[in-house]
């Protein structure tokens, strides 16, 4: 479904991704893990078209989307839930969903109604300003905002960051419902156990390169890699 | 001092507030969507005024259509400034951005001077608003001042609901609040940044067109070449007003405009040492607002971080 081959990305003179290759199949949940600053978010941003690619190719459902505009990527059904600040805090829940569905044009009203059926909690808060909601509610809104665009593949940058386990469980439950209906997911997570519990396959990144690629269960046994995450993740981002 | 004199000065102040508000709204829109502290704002409005002066000077184009063309030229100048210059500078390079804005302002002021070359000293301007006066309950002001107040109110009455409710207005706000999140929703951020420049620069053109002297009888007013400068005197209070909202809140910028315009005029009534220093006062207020870091009151840290990235 998504195939990344030999991806190199630089921020100015500093190269941050080195020959990254990654595959995501149909109906699959893939975890992208790694230490702080390993380049996980950069991979997602390059795929979504918000930063330029130095070299390499990105294909989605057979179409080359390397260097495509974010708008084109969204229209192809590849949606990213951005990390940390996925909602527009100064806007109401209703406005957030409306802006989130921008690419759908005149179809947005129906798409928003469909999403509100899946996120009943948000229905009662349509006029609340997003910035005044709890972290969990904001993340729920961010997820709804992504789902309103009817993704075929969803890239999630840090679903669980700063949220209570109970809230995370609720988010995952909603996510699983979409996966059952055929939405594929790439999840970037700081929380390794969580990621490995939902993903069948995992990639592990370190300093801009892929260090591991295989079944989640296998990565579970790789203490040499995972220790780095546990050592750094205690200090926050 | 009679109440009608105070009322008269207050109304003149309101007209000034209107001009400041139209400038301040543009400054805020442009800053929020593109991160540019637009010191070229005045000069971009000036280009529209010069085109208006040239068109009416040849007596072919009637004043009102000429004013419309002037406004459109300002909007176009803003669009070009964004597309050719500002879109190529990284948002985080604040100092570069400010220096480039000064350069772009000087460029447009120079273009204005060049277009009017051969007309040294004073230029007779054909007005497009009536030069008559109106009496509002004993307070006598120029019709052009009353029209300026009404135009400013109308501009806000159209712009604010549009930003709040329409699909494009919401998309523009989304780009202003968090550019990357907006892009990830399929919004063409570059296009909406240009739209913000077009609206802001058009408003600057409108504000300056309303400011030209409309009152000197049949002949119209006189515009001096010394007015063709990159930073006009009202740009300072306009930045002051915009800073009341930390350059990010439109309602606060509007409130700031109201206060700056009114206070600057009403200070005429103060005793001499103060009434002579009305322009300086704007600088003092701006300094205080900058020290207060007013943006804190209108956006969370996360929002401010998103603005700067």
- Cα B215 versus chain centre, distance: 21
- Using a CB–CB cutoff of 8 Å, tell me whether B171 touches chain A: yes
Return mean pLDDT, chain B: 87
A84, B178: Cβ pair inside 8 Å? Answer: no
A50, B183: Cβ pair inside 8 Å? Answer: yes
At residue B230, the pLDDT reads 74
B184, A88: Cβ pair inside 8 Å? Answer: no
ipTM of the complex: 0.89
Residue in A75, A86, A88 closest to B186 by CB: A75
**Strands lying side by side in the sheet with A55-60:** A14-24, A2-11, A55-60, A63-64
A85, B170: Cβ pair inside 8 Å? Answer: no
Query: Residue A75: its chain B contacts at CB < 8 A?
Result: 186
DSSP state of A126: T
Alpha-carbon distances of B240 from A99, B73, B166, rounded to whole Å = 31, 26, 29
Which of B178, B182, B186 to substitute to test the interface with A, most A CBs within 10 Å?
B186
Reported as a single tens digit per residue, the pLDDT across B267-296 is: 888 888 877 777 777 778 888 887 887 777
Residue in B167, B184, B186 closest to A82 by CB: B184
A145 near A70, Cβ under 8 Å? no
Q: For residue B254, what are its two tokens?
A: 């509007």
Whether the predicted pLDDT of B302 surpasses 70: no
CB proximity under 8 Å: B 252-281 to A? none
Which one is predicted more confidently, A131 or B58?
Answer: A131
Whether the predicted pLDDT of B102 surpasses 80: yes
At residue B305, the pLDDT reads 67
- Using a CB–CB cutoff of 8 Å, tell me whether B307 touches chain A: no
Across the range B17-31, mean pLDDT stands at 95
Per-residue pLDDT band for B307 (boundaries 50, 70, 90) equals low
At residue A231, the pLDDT reads 59
Q: How far apart are CA A73 and CA A65, in angstroms?
A: 7
Residue in A82, A100, A149 closest to B180 by CB: A82
Q: How far apart are CA B284 and CA B263, in angstroms?
A: 13
Q: How far apart are CA A37 and CA A20, in angstroms?
A: 15
- Using a CB–CB cutoff of 8 Å, tell me whether B182 touches chain A: yes
pLDDT in 10s for each residue of chain A, 237 residues: 999 999 999 988 899 999 999 999 988 999 999 888 889 999 999 999 999 999 999 999 999 999 999 999 999 999 999 887 689 988 999 999 999 999 998 899 999 999 999 999 899 999 999 989 998 999 999 999 999 999 999 999 988 888 888 888 888 889 888 999 899 999 998 788 888 888 989 999 989 999 999 888 888 878 777 777 765 554 433
Q: What is the pTM of this model?
A: 0.88
- Using a CB–CB cutoff of 8 Å, tell me whether B186 touches chain A: yes
Place of tokens 């220790």: A227
Each domain of chain A, given as residue ranges in start order, spans 2-77+151-233, 84-148
A203 near A23, Cβ under 8 Å? no
| Strand ranges, E, within chain A | 2-11, 14-24, 29-34, 55-60, 63-64, 78-81, 153-157, 184-188, 201-206, 209-215
Domain A2-77+151-233 indexed as CATH 3.40.50.11890: no
Q: How far apart are CA B164 and CA B142, in angstroms?
A: 34
A71, B187: Cβ pair inside 8 Å? Answer: yes
């Amino acid at each position: 479904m998504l195939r990344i081959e030999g991806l190199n990305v630089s921020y100015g003179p500093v190269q941050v991704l080195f020959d990254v290759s990654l595959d995501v199949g149909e109906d699959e949940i893939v975890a992208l893990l790694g230490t702080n600053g390993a380049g996980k978010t950069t991979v997602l941003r390059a795929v979504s078209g918000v930063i330029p690619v130095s070299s390499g190719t990105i294909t989605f459902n057979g179409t080359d989307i390397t260097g495509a505009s974010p708008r084109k990527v969204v229209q192809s059904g590849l949606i990213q839930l951005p990390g940390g600040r996925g909602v527009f805090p100064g806007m109401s829940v209703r406005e957030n969903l409306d802006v989130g569905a921008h690419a759908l044009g005149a179809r947005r009203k129906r798409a928003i109604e469909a999403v509100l059926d899946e996120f009943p909690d948000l229905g009662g808060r349509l006029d609340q300003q997003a910035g005044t909601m709890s972290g969990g509610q904001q993340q729920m809104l961010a997820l709804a905002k992504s789902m309103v665009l009817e993704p075929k593949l969803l890239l999630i940058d840090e679903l669980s960051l700063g949220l209570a386990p109970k809230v995370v469980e609720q988010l995952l439950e909603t996510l699983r419902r979409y996966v059952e209906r055929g939405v594929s997911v790439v999840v970037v997570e700081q929380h390794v156990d969580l990621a490995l519990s939902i993903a069948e396959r995992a990639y592990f990144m370190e300093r801009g390169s892929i260090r591991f690629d295989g079944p989640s269960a296998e990565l579970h046994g790789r203490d040499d890699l995972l220790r780095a995450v546990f050592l750094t993740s205690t200090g926050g981002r | 001092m009679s109440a009608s004199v105070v009322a008269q000065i207050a109304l003149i102040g309101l007209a000034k507030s209107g001009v400041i508000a139209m400038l301040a709204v543009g400054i805020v829109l442009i800053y929020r969507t593109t991160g540019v502290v637009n010191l070229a704002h005045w000069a971009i409005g000036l280009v529209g005024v010069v085109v208006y002066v040239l068109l009416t000077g040849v007596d072919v184009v009637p004043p009102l259509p000429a004013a419309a063309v002037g406004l459109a030229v300002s909007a176009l100048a803003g669009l070009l400034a964004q597309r050719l210059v500002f879109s190529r500078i990284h948002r985080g390079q604040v100092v570069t951005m400010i220096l480039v804005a000064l350069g772009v302002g000087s460029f447009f002021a120079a273009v204005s001077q060049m277009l009017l070359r051969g007309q040294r000293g004073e230029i007779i301007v054909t007005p497009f608003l009536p030069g008559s006066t109106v009496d509002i309950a004993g307070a006598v002001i120029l019709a052009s001042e009353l029209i300026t107040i009404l135009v400013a109110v109308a501009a806000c009455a159209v712009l604010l609901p549009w930003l709040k409710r329409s699909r494009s207005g919401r998309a523009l706000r989304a780009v202003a609040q968090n550019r990357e999140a907006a892009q990830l929703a399929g919004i063409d951020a570059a296009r909406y940044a240009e739209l913000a420049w077009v609206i802001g620069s058009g408003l600057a053109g409108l504000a300056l067109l309303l400011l030209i002297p409309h009152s000197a009888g049949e002949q119209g007013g006189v515009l001096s070449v010394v007015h063709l400068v990159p930073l006009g005197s009202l740009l300072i209070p306009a930045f002051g007003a915009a800073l009341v909202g930390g350059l990010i809140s439109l309602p606060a910028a509007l409130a700031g405009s109201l206060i700056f315009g009114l206070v600057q005029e009403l200070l005429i009534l103060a005793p001499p040492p103060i009434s002579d220093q009305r322009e300086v006062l704007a600088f003092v207020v701006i300094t205080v607002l900058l020290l207060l870091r007013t943006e804190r009151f209108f956006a969370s840290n996360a929002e401010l971080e998103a603005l700067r990235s």
